[in-house]
Structure 1
Amino acid sequence: MEELEFHNIINDTPRSSPTTHTVTDPRTESPLWPCPIASPADFEDAVASAQIAFKTWKLTPLSERQALLTKLATNLEDHLPLLSQILARESGKSLLLSELDVRTSIAQCLHYAQPANALSDHIQYEDETVKIIATHVPLGVVAAICPWNFPLILSSIKVVSSLVTGNCVIVKPSPFTPYAVMKWIELARGILPPGVLQVLNGGADLGQILTLHPGIAKVSFTGTIAVGKAVMAACAKTLKKVTLELAGNNACIVCADADLPKAVKNVASGAFFNAGQVCVATKRVYVHESVYEEFVRRLVEEVKGNYTMVEDASVPSVFGPVSNKVQFETVKRIVEDCKGKGYEIVAGGEVRESGNAEGKKGFWLEPTIVKGPPDDSVLVKEEQFGPILPVMSWSDEDDVINRSNLANAGLGASVYSSDLAQAERIARRLEAGGVWINKSERPHMGAYFSGFKDSGFGGEMGKQGLLSYSYTQSIHFAK
């Protein structure tokens, strides 16, 4: 791939920096491109530009904002090959998954470009004395602090939610995957008024000043629980609005009457899609004891047959390396803990043995299945966010629900059963923001996505997600 240049975008103008950092390709450990780090002056200029732009952008009719979202979608489509290649290099995804990242971002733009999917005025209450209308007023400048596992998807949902509600937005991509997001916003220059959509690259120090600056009205953050708590504490100093989408150690319950061939395929996809680096990935599986051994056997066959390590990103694959060395070491420690404790590893369990021409191996871990680890093991208690899956058995419904409902996490869950009444009964008792029945966990942009307990504060997507990007004003008409 040709040499590329990247810039922070401030007031629709590319801006370089004497300070840069370089990301490593997770497949090969080869260095990619220098990426400019925004300075404090860049940050102040971006906030000032957004505040100026907001004065007129907030007055732009909804229909015009939605028309511009359609143009953003077209722009993404026009640059899909370039953005996909950049994503593949920085994240370790195959081109297949990288194109999905871009296409889902396109779909998000088009979804909120539809009048039915945006917020509109409505009558809250009416009687013979009064009519009360609810209208939705934009907050101001939104800071979107984004993760590395789906760089475009999880940035664009914050961007389109901000724009359709009349806010300006400053995007801070993850320093592990800054390139595609920065290039997207660079390529989108000229579509929106200057200052409405900007991007700044930086690390934790930039994230901190975004949360503290009085010129930022809202922070939308996706990341770890520990950082999310720090973001919330910082936002409290200026009473910012805040949305947090945090970690989820998601449980899956397979009932005795589940369609095993379908359940196995879905569980494998839920657990090992993008090497398990999905916030709502299947991370703990509880299988009824009557079908436990058969389920494990089928799952091992499915994973060994369809989830393999392929270095060439052009080969269609939903499995790839761990996206960065920090997370690679985290997952590797969990694998070593399982080995050290003598847990039964029935698939995988090894790092990549062969290297590339430079002798570097990349951040590759085999898809790993651990049979029957105890509930108090690190693998079961902590979110692994990588390609390792514990599979436990159960016999009593109340017991498995209690085991599934962790004290600190509740983002997603799934249930497999041929008895839909039973599946729904279990689903309603699971303490998770989203539950999927007879399918793997995949958020839908038309549905509110949020976490219970430490898995989040507020939420994104659906009309309800847009409410957190707005004030709701009640206008009372006397009759």
Structure 2
Amino acid sequence: MGSIPASGNSPYEFFNVIDGKPRPAEEYHQVVDPRTEEPLWDAPVASFQDLDDAVDAATRAFKTWKTSTIAERQKAIHNVAQCILKNADILAEVQMRETGKSKAMSRFDVERTAHHFEYYTDVALEDEVQYEDDSVQIVATHVPIGVLGAISPWNFPLILSSIKVVSALATGNCVIIKPSPFTPYSLLKFCELAQSVLPPGVFQALNGGAELGEQMTLHPGIHHISFTGTIAVGQRIFQNCTRTLKKVILELAGNNACIVCDDADLAKVVPQVAIGSLFHAGQVCVASKRIYVHESLYDRFLELLVEEAKKFAVDDDAKSPAFSPLSNRANFDRAVGFVEDCKKNGYKIVAGGRVKPTGKGFWIEPTIVSKPPDDSLLVREEQFAPIVPVLSWASEDDVVARANLDNAGLGASVYTPDLARARGLAARLESGSVWINQFERPHQAGFFGGWKLSGVNGELGRRGLLHYANVQSLHIAKV
């Protein structure tokens, strides 16, 4: 097992983790607390030599780890889940400080991370008989690929990283994960703690910026890449991976459409839509980014949504644990640009519109914009902020055509009590996941992947493990 005990280093000291050991760095950077804009702790910046060393360690570990049985991997995964829960307080505290989330939201994220691991203690890829007759049996087996380079986002640093880590471990791969430089702390600490229950080199973590990520995608010793982030970066990663024919998983932007039908029960639907669009200040990959309401319900829906948005209070942890500031200055500045564009063009802002209302922290009030044009910046681009366009529609053909943007292939939602109608609309939406009569949240048992500009391949569920394994067909002659 690895050499770092859970009670070893200070909870507020952070290291790159290579070959089961903490490694200090020559260079450090600090992240600011999004609520206070005060600097947090030193975070190590990994060098290219650190990356080479991590790849070497993973390559050595893979020789043994790939031969482990499903039962052995599942036992290790269970142990990681228990390690997460044992250290939930410090992981939640660190993630809360780096993301700006409330205590309740951050604690939920930690527990959800453990759930992702526990899910795969009962789920695995089994051999499958593809064909059989009197002369031959063809069996599909699932073989580990090698060393995974995982590049994680900042909005859910533990949850979205855990998907990549546990999928790699469950399929017999080794994983080197790079957190976002905006949120390095919780993932580095998680990896450090996990060394107490995993063999050295199986799970490593390196913190760094775009240059390190780029080098990971080009490194010949890394055999596949899993990335969650923007379309532009995803496209570059895809191009880089072609140089060494790496396998790749890309979960990219989702300018997701939410469709409210004319038969919807607004008393039930509006609270769901509000959560779908404003939870974590809209910084959710599958958040409702564009809300389309049937014209017969539009005025009443808008009135109720404005009232519901008041429950998402700025800087009030006790009353609004589901709301938060923007997690970093870069996303805050980008979001401010959306608000300014709406004001400059005279769009009707029916709620919110103030930025930094408390004077500190990257806060933007829940902001609702009524019927901006379809060609407006707010409708065309994913805002990733609590700035919600509410549009009207009259015919299903019209709303489906408007919903199916090229950057809207990750998620969508449909609200109608008529399930046949809902299934019909869902079938016409060009989206990897569609939520019916509920706000959008991926589930560990459901395959999750984007279409079009929103991604390549996917993760989660048993089906997601297929993108972490090579399929080998055994053609067995019947003698």
TM-score range, shorter chain: over 0.9
Specify the alignment match of 1:474 in structure 2: 473
Pairing of 1:354-365 with structure 2 (within 5 A) = 354-355=358-359, 361-365=360-364
Answer whether contact 2:99 2:154 (CA < 8 A) is retained.
Answer: yes
Structure 1 gaps of 5+ residues are 356-360
Specify the alignment match of 1:463 in structure 2: 462
Specify the alignment match of 2:16 in structure 1: 8
Answer whether contact 1:246 1:451 (CA < 8 A) is retained.
Answer: yes
Distance 1:332 1:118 in 2: 44
Provide Cα deviations, 1:296-327, integer angstroms capped at 9, x if missing partner.
000001111x1001255x76610010000000
Aligned counterpart in structure 2 of residue 50 of structure 1, from 48, 58, 61: 58
2:220 maps to 1:214 = yes
The secondary structure found in structure 2 opposite 1:153 is helix
Pairing of 1:68-467 with structure 2 (within 5 A) = 68-114=76-122, 117-304=123-310, 306-310=311-315, 312=317, 317-355=321-359, 361-467=360-466
Residues 31, 468 of structure 1: CA spacing in aligned structure 2 closer, same or farther, 3 A cutoff? same
Distance 1:60 1:41 in 2: 29
Distance 2:358 2:412 in 1: 36
Answer whether contact 1:94 1:315 (CA < 8 A) is retained.
Answer: no
What is the total number of aligned residue pairs between the two structures? 469
The secondary structure found in structure 1 opposite 2:440 is coil
Answer whether contact 1:27 1:311 (CA < 8 A) is retained.
Answer: no
Q: Which of 250-259 and 187-196 deviates more?
A: 187-196
Distance 1:401 1:316 in 2: 33
Distance 1:138 1:238 in 2: 17
Distance 2:108 2:319 in 1: 14
How far has the Cα of 1:147 moved from its partner?
Answer: 0.1
Distance 1:127 1:141 in 2: 37
Distance 1:224 1:337 in 2: 21
How far has the Cα of 1:179 moved from its partner?
Answer: 0.1
Distance 1:190 1:96 in 2: 27
How far has the Cα of 1:190 moved from its partner?
Answer: 2.6
Amino acid at match of 1:320: S
Distance 1:35 1:209 in 2: 19
Amino acid at match of 1:364: W
Amino acid at match of 1:458: N
The secondary structure found in structure 2 opposite 1:468 is helix
Provide Cα deviations, 1:329-350, integer angstroms capped at 9, x if missing partner.
1011100100111111011000
The secondary structure found in structure 2 opposite 1:44 is helix
Residues 186, 316 of structure 1: CA spacing in aligned structure 2 closer, same or farther, 3 A cutoff? farther
* Structure 1 segments of 4+ aligned residues over 4 angstroms from their partners: none
Distance 1:315 1:429 in 2: 39
How far has the Cα of 1:3 moved from its partner?
Answer: 7.4
How far has the Cα of 1:354 moved from its partner?
Answer: 3.1
The secondary structure found in structure 2 opposite 1:279 is coil
How far has the Cα of 1:352 moved from its partner?
Answer: 2.5
Structure 2 gaps of 5+ residues are 1-9
Distance 1:3 1:353 in 2: 33
Provide Cα deviations, 1:80-125, integer angstroms capped at 9, x if missing partner.
01100001000000011101111111001000011xx210111111
Distance 1:282 1:128 in 2: 53
Specify the alignment match of 1:59 in structure 2: 67
Distance 1:262 1:151 in 2: 31
Answer whether contact 1:95 1:315 (CA < 8 A) is retained.
Answer: no
Provide Cα deviations, 1:405-448, integer angstroms capped at 9, x if missing partner.
11343110000012111111111100000001100111111111
Provide Cα deviations, 1:359-413, integer angstroms capped at 9, x if missing partner.
xx11000000000101000000000001100000111110111011113431100
Amino acid at match of 2:460: M
The secondary structure found in structure 1 opposite 2:59 is helix
How far has the Cα of 1:33 moved from its partner?
Answer: 0.3
How far has the Cα of 1:8 moved from its partner?
Answer: 0.3
Distance 1:46 1:457 in 2: 26
The secondary structure found in structure 2 opposite 1:231 is helix
Distance 1:112 1:401 in 2: 36
The secondary structure found in structure 2 opposite 1:460 is coil
How far has the Cα of 1:41 moved from its partner?
Answer: 1.4
Specify the alignment match of 1:18 in structure 2: 26
Answer whether contact 1:250 1:281 (CA < 8 A) is retained.
Answer: yes
Distance 2:221 2:469 in 1: 16
Amino acid at match of 2:330: V
Specify the alignment match of 1:358 in structure 2: none
Distance 2:308 2:196 in 1: 48
Distance 2:39 2:58 in 1: 33
Amino acid at match of 1:73: A
Distance 1:38 1:430 in 2: 42
Distance 2:193 2:396 in 1: 53
TM-score, with structure 2 as normaliser: 0.97
Answer whether contact 1:252 1:284 (CA < 8 A) is retained.
Answer: yes
How far has the Cα of 1:476 moved from its partner?
Answer: 1.0
The secondary structure found in structure 2 opposite 1:253 is strand
Amino acid at match of 2:170: V
TM-score, with structure 1 as normaliser: 0.97
Answer whether contact 1:263 1:416 (CA < 8 A) is retained.
Answer: yes
The secondary structure found in structure 1 opposite 2:46 is coil
Provide Cα deviations, 1:253-310, integer angstroms capped at 9, x if missing partner.
1000001111101100000001000000000001001010000000001111x10012
Provide Cα deviations, 1:25-80, integer angstroms capped at 9, x if missing partner.
00000000011101121111100000000001000111000001000000000000
